[in-house]
Amino acid sequence: MSQLKLSKETWSSQSIFILAAVGSAVGLGNLWKFPYITGEYGGSAFLLVYLLCVLLVGLPLLIAEITLGRAGQANPVQGMANLARENKASKLWSLLGLNGVLAAGFILSFYSVIAGWSGAYFVSSLQGNFISQDVATIQEDFSALLSSPWQLVFWHTAFSLLAVWIVSRGIKNGLEKAINILMPALFAILLILLGYVVASRGFEESVTFLFQPDFSKLTAEAVLVAMGHAFFTLSLGLGVMMVYGSYLNQQSSIVKASIWIAVADTAIALLAGVIIFSIVFGNNLDAASGPGLLFQTLPVAFSEMWGGWFFGTLFFGLVVLAALSSAISLIEPAVSWFEQNWGIQRNKAAWGFGFVTWVLGIGTVLSFNTWSDIYLFSDKTFFDSLDFLTANIMLPAGGFFMAIFVGWVLSKEKLKGELGLQERTLNQYRITLRWIVPVLVMIVFIYNLI
């Protein structure tokens, strides 16, 4: 192993850091998963529980992960090793950082495949392929996309190349420049779509669905799903916020930045929900249509609505931008580790890691067609197995042990120095990390394994 070489690059400002972190958090989870699980579990009552879970689990863990990054002053693996040594703890804590790096790589391998679908739909909408198409035809087109390995490999490759190229250019020339383009464009498209749906016939029903509580539809399963999504939506346990935190200067407030990130991520998810459900209800479609909501239900609406070509293309462009901002963040933890600990130049590290995740992604591509009847664990395809491993084991484990380390191992003086909180508030935060967060994460972990 080469001599440790820490990166001296930092974010230009706290605002850029917040935009980058929001870009990581905002992805397919906000525009794809959040709307459909909200639809499946009854809307507004589910939303209230979700917001409470963000406050109790998501925000405390987000603060903890960024704190570990800035305090460790290195990539997730080396940063945890540094902090373990400073606090006279076991060297095995570095495995927490390695868990995040590996989880990010596994997720990127199939995330780029799913994100590739949005690229295919963007081009398809741009070409006018959704105009005047019936439900059966749109569903057949989606099935045809999934059954074609070559189409999926093409879009998987195109998306991967773009994400890796951005990361290979460094913090200021790559990540910052991309974020300065992606995030304003994402916000602009959201506002344009919101402006359109406000005048649509489904807007009022959408707002009622999302913001008027109906607790009769709230089940124990819905509560657990809300808790799980609150954890995953902020990109926690992946080492992403840790490595982004390591580029944050000491003058920036971790607590304020974390609050802004959580608020922005939640607001974008809500805006996406209002937009999507307004289109769904305005076209008399089913809000509880599950994972197919984005790729099978919405194209039906775009095929029938006024301005469907323009707004459909705009919407899938939004999905591509959100997916790309998340993908580049998934590459960064591994690249920073290779660069700092192994002495590999960023450019080579990015392309090497990108190639490995691209190859792994071929397994996901084939899971939807050629390998659809090949199972690794029980009834799980290659894709299902990777998704289960990361979402149900690696990420909850990362969140659980981060809470334990910051709550029990990291010195109170170090934590206070990083967060700048008053004694009473600091004690309340440590209690939350010591008892509340680990218990809630463990509940979700056990539920997902049952």
Q: 123-176, pLDDT tens digit by residue?
A: 999 999 888 887 788 889 989 999 999 999 999 999 999 999 999 998 888 889
Structure tokens at 173: 């020339």
Percent of the chain's residues with pLDDT above 70: 97
pLDDT, position 161: 97
Query: Of the candidates 334, 365, 360, which has an alpha carbon nearest to the alpha carbon of residue 349?
Result: 334
Decide: helix, strand or coil at residue 380: strand
Query: Of the candidates 431, 399, 395, which has an alpha carbon nearest to the alpha carbon of residue 415?
Result: 431
Give percent helix, percent strand, percent coil of the chain, each to the nearest 5: 80, 0, 20
Phi-psi region of 237 (alpha: psi -120 to 50; beta: other; left: phi over 0): left
Task: Provide the terminal-to-terminal Cα distance of the chain, rounded to the nearest Å.
Answer: 41
Q: Does residue 189 have a pLDDT over 60?
A: yes
pLDDT, position 8: 57
Q: Does residue 186 have a pLDDT over 70?
A: yes
pLDDT, position 317: 92
Q: What is the number of residues in the chain?
A: 450
Higher pLDDT, 272 or 370: 370
Contact assessment for residue 380 and residue 114, using Cβ atoms and an 8 Å cutoff: no
Contact assessment for residue 187 and residue 366, using Cβ atoms and an 8 Å cutoff: no
Instruction: Among 32-46, 174-188, 254-268, name the one with the lowest average pLDDT.
Output: 32-46
Compute the distance between CA of residue 230 and CA of residue 208 in angstroms, rounded to an integer: 22
Q: Does residue 120 have a pLDDT over 70?
A: yes
- Mean pLDDT over 226-253 rounds to 88
Count of other CB atoms within 10 angstroms of residue 180:
14
Contact assessment for residue 429 and residue 391, using Cβ atoms and an 8 Å cutoff: no
Q: Which residues of 45-84 are buried (b: 16+ CB within 10 A; e: fewer)?
A: bbbebbbebbebbbbbbbbbbbbbbbbbebbbbbbbbbbb
Q: Does residue 378 have a pLDDT over 90?
A: no
To the question of pTM greater than 0.75 for the whole model, the response is: yes
Average pLDDT over the chain reads 90
- Mean pLDDT over 78-94 rounds to 96
Structure tokens at 7: 């990166």
pLDDT, position 379: 84
Residue whose tokens read 């059954």:
147
Structure tokens at 360: 């792994």
